[in-house]
Structure 1
Amino acid sequence: MVRALRALLHPAARQVLAACTLALISVPGIPTHAANVESQQQAAIEALTRSRAAVVGVEVTAVGGARSADTLGQRRSGSGVVIGADGLILTIGYLVLEAETIQLTTHANQSMPARVVAYDLATGFGLVRPLLPLRGVRPVKMGALADLHPGDAVIVATGGEDGEVAMAQVVGKRPFSGYWEYHIDAAFFTSPPVGNHSGAALLNSRGELLGIGSLLVGDASGEGKPLPGNMFVPVDLLKPILAELQQNGSSRQSRRPWLGLTSAERQGRVQVVRVTKDSPAEAAGLEPGDVVVAVDGTEVATLETFYKNLWARPSPDAEVRLTVLRGSITRAVTLRGVDRTTTIAKPAGI
């Protein structure tokens, strides 16, 4: 049985399996005699084989005139993970943002079209569903953020023609703020990095899905030291809103003010790096180099405090008062945010 399953795996996957098995048998309290090791190894192989089969390649072409094409490109590729018995696939949202067409490729090289089910700004997740049945693919079970700790060994699986299985180590669990008006209170950080990280599956040795790949980062440890790695969005964020996403296409938390600013933390200040064309920020005259000092009179020094103060209002189009420093001049800027979902281009007929 073990030999047959091992034959199904790419050499890289066998290396991952060996490392994960070693990590398992080194846990205090778990016997390490030969029979137990063989049993654990067999269980790990079976879990890895099932989970890898559920990771698919995702190829996307954005609609003509998509705003996101400037930063994400017209054509995008990454991975997704089957999480539903009906073929529902979880991926990272920016892959399917403003998608015109989506093509999936399974581990068995089965290719088929898919459609977007949801794009969620608050979590960064995307959901797609194949238009044809996925044969021979079982959905992956979801794990939990609390079950994983820095130092733990994990598996990163990608799909498509160049799909692979790689070994990584958790080097951090902490909040994450993105320059594109995005924040989550907990994210996984792993190293060494995986290049094709978009939508990649983060799995534990039981084959459970822990997170979805989002970014390549230069400081995975968060200690200010060069350590290349990846950031993964934990599936814990999906569990309470999954039904809502399937029904409405986004979560309630995603209906919040969007200004169209790309910002960065620099020396304890929030500095504007880029202003999106035709956005509220551009209409208000904000420019790259401006420093956001306060929101509604409350001082902000980090992206997290900036975003949380921005989003703490009852509706997406509520009035926002920014205190902005340009050079040596401080000025007040009043603008209205917009619901980001209303600015996203959709395929013809939708």
Structure 2
Amino acid sequence: MGFTTALRSAAASALYLFVFVAAAATGPQQEMIDALQRANQAVVGVQVGAAEGARSAETLGRQREGSGVVIGPDGLILTIGYLMLEADAIQVVTHDGRTLPARAVAYDLATGFGLLRPLLPLRGIAPVPLGSTSELATGTPLMASTGGDSGEVALTQLVSKRAFSGYWEYHIESALFTSPPLRNHSGAPLFNQRGELLGIGSLFVNNAMGDNSALPGNMYVPVDLLKPVLAEMQQTGSTRISRRPWLGLSSTEQGGRVQIVRVNKDSPAQEAGLAAGDVVLAIEGQRVSTLEAFYKKLWSAPDPDGEVHLTVLQGADIRQITVKAVDRMKTMRRPAGI
């Protein structure tokens, strides 16, 4: 058996296992099998080369690979945005092995979603419908898929729905957490038993069920966050809500404190003298003890390029530090098309 044939056989086995588990409560349905097959065929591999000198290459590298899924009749592809940051070249790989050039359409900093469009027609691929996670219950079996040469189909289940704060100045009010984890999670679509898209893979996490769960899994950005901004993303290349102050920090919350663990090179935070190990006690005089509270106060400022006043513990000293924030999208090269 050849490598490609073996991959397809393994994917088919996982797909039918998912159908078997999902159908246990609803009864076997050929429609379910057909819907899941169509969904899996809409999954593509995403290959990105970032521009030379790209700021994002420091953390993401210049060569990136992940997945996406076709959501529009014109070939519009939804993926996770960090794959396409400062992209110089983008290719998509279809389920039948075709490699097509693509261009960036939009990146939404607030949700993390990215949109791509192939430069050549996608033949024989139907766009997947967008589902809803509002009534999705924990324990529900779900299908995760990846595209490209190492594409796979995996059975997983929802273990948690909750707000998520990322160390890279990121917060969403609702995120999906699944287990067991998918290895190639970046941009991987998550489907329900009707073949409807529920989310896009963003991270591997060690605490899928909560702070002290010690259960490995993945975090998915739910498509519910895409629906209100999809038209704006296609029209403008971003969203209004993505224009917000950015400091250039990676932080964590430890015992009721927000601690800086990394400062981006040439960022507003570095220019203001912030450093790894500093503890942010307050922003604009308001005490903060969680990343969520820190970010929400930061983003409430009306001017994304305005001054931000922090109270910071540096060593044994408490200092007042002013940071000249910037609109993050202004600091990065924009991919051709956006």
**So what's the TM-score if we normalise by structure 2?**
0.95
What's the RMSD between the two structures over aligned residues? Answer: 1.5
**Equivalent of 2:246 in 233, 246, 258:** 258
What residue ranges of structure 1 are gaps of 5+ in the alignment? Answer: 1-7
Residue 9 (structure 1) shift: 5.8
Matches within 5 A, 1:306-325: 306-325=294-313
Instruction: Work out whether residues 285 and 311 of structure 2, in 8 Å CA contact, stay in contact via their aligned partners in 1.
Output: yes
Q: Distance in 1 between matches of 2:337 and 2:176?
A: 38
Q: Distance in 2 between matches of 1:310 and 1:275?
A: 17
**1:332 equivalent in structure 2:** 320
SS at match of 1:160: coil
1:13 aligns with 2:34: no
Shift in alpha-carbon separation, 1:349–1:188, aligned structure 2, 3 A: closer
Residue 243 (structure 1) shift: 0.6
- Structure 2 residue identity aligned to 1:265: E
Matches within 5 A, 1:291-302: 291-302=279-290
Q: Distance in 2 between matches of 1:210 and 1:19?
A: 16
Q: Distance in 2 between matches of 1:349 and 1:55?
A: 22
Q: Distance in 1 between matches of 2:336 and 2:23?
A: 51
1:72 aligns with 2:71: no
**1:207 equivalent in structure 2:** 195
What residue ranges of structure 2 are gaps of 5+ in the alignment? Answer: 1-6
1:284 aligns with 2:272: yes
The percentage of counterpart residues that share the same residue type is 61
Q: Distance in 2 between matches of 1:257 and 1:95?
A: 22
1:134 aligns with 2:122: yes
**2:21 equivalent in structure 1:** 22
Instruction: Work out whether residues 245 and 251 of structure 1, in 8 Å CA contact, stay in contact via their aligned partners in 2.
Output: yes
Q: Distance in 1 between matches of 2:10 and 2:235?
A: 41
The superposition leaves residues 300-332 of structure 1 with CA deviations (integer Å, 9 ceiling, x where unpaired) of 001000000000011201221100001221011
Instruction: Work out whether residues 55 and 80 of structure 1, in 8 Å CA contact, stay in contact via their aligned partners in 2.
Output: yes
- Structure 2 residue identity aligned to 1:260: G
Instruction: Work out whether residues 80 and 199 of structure 1, in 8 Å CA contact, stay in contact via their aligned partners in 2.
Output: yes
1:249 aligns with 2:237: yes
- Structure 2 residue identity aligned to 1:215: L
Residue 223 (structure 1) shift: 4.4
Shift in alpha-carbon separation, 1:20–1:317, aligned structure 2, 3 A: same
Shift in alpha-carbon separation, 1:349–1:164, aligned structure 2, 3 A: closer
Q: Distance in 1 between matches of 2:267 and 2:139?
A: 42
Residue 347 (structure 1) shift: 5.3
Q: Distance in 2 between matches of 1:348 and 1:205?
A: 36
Instruction: Work out whether residues 275 and 282 of structure 1, in 8 Å CA contact, stay in contact via their aligned partners in 2.
Output: yes
Shift in alpha-carbon separation, 1:349–1:140, aligned structure 2, 3 A: closer
**Equivalent of 2:113 in 105, 109, 125:** 125
Instruction: Work out whether residues 19 and 33 of structure 2, in 8 Å CA contact, stay in contact via their aligned partners in 1.
Output: no
1:107 aligns with 2:106: no
Residue 267 (structure 1) shift: 1.6
Q: Distance in 1 between matches of 2:68 and 2:14?
A: 23
Instruction: Work out whether residues 13 and 164 of structure 1, in 8 Å CA contact, stay in contact via their aligned partners in 2.
Output: no
Residue 25 (structure 1) shift: 3.0
The superposition leaves residues 191-243 of structure 1 with CA deviations (integer Å, 9 ceiling, x where unpaired) of 00111000001000100000000000001011402111000000111101101
1:62 aligns with 2:50: yes
Q: Distance in 2 between matches of 1:274 and 1:223?
A: 22
Instruction: Work out whether residues 175 and 185 of structure 1, in 8 Å CA contact, stay in contact via their aligned partners in 2.
Output: yes
Instruction: Work out whether residues 17 and 44 of structure 1, in 8 Å CA contact, stay in contact via their aligned partners in 2.
Output: no
**1:85 equivalent in structure 2:** 73
Q: Distance in 1 between matches of 2:336 and 2:171?
A: 31
Q: Distance in 1 between matches of 2:79 and 2:337?
A: 24
Q: Distance in 1 between matches of 2:329 and 2:14?
A: 43
Q: Distance in 2 between matches of 1:238 and 1:19?
A: 26
**Equivalent of 1:45 in 33, 51, 55:** 33
Residue 43 (structure 1) shift: 1.5
Instruction: Work out whether residues 142 and 158 of structure 2, in 8 Å CA contact, stay in contact via their aligned partners in 1.
Output: yes
Q: Distance in 1 between matches of 2:318 and 2:211?
A: 33
The superposition leaves residues 139-192 of structure 1 with CA deviations (integer Å, 9 ceiling, x where unpaired) of 000000113111100000100011010000100000000010000000000000
Q: Which runs of 4+ in 1 moved over 4 A?
A: 347-350
Q: Distance in 2 between matches of 1:212 and 1:161?
A: 19
Residue 18 (structure 1) shift: 3.0
Residue 345 (structure 1) shift: 1.4
SS at match of 1:147: coil
- Structure 1 residue identity aligned to 2:16: L
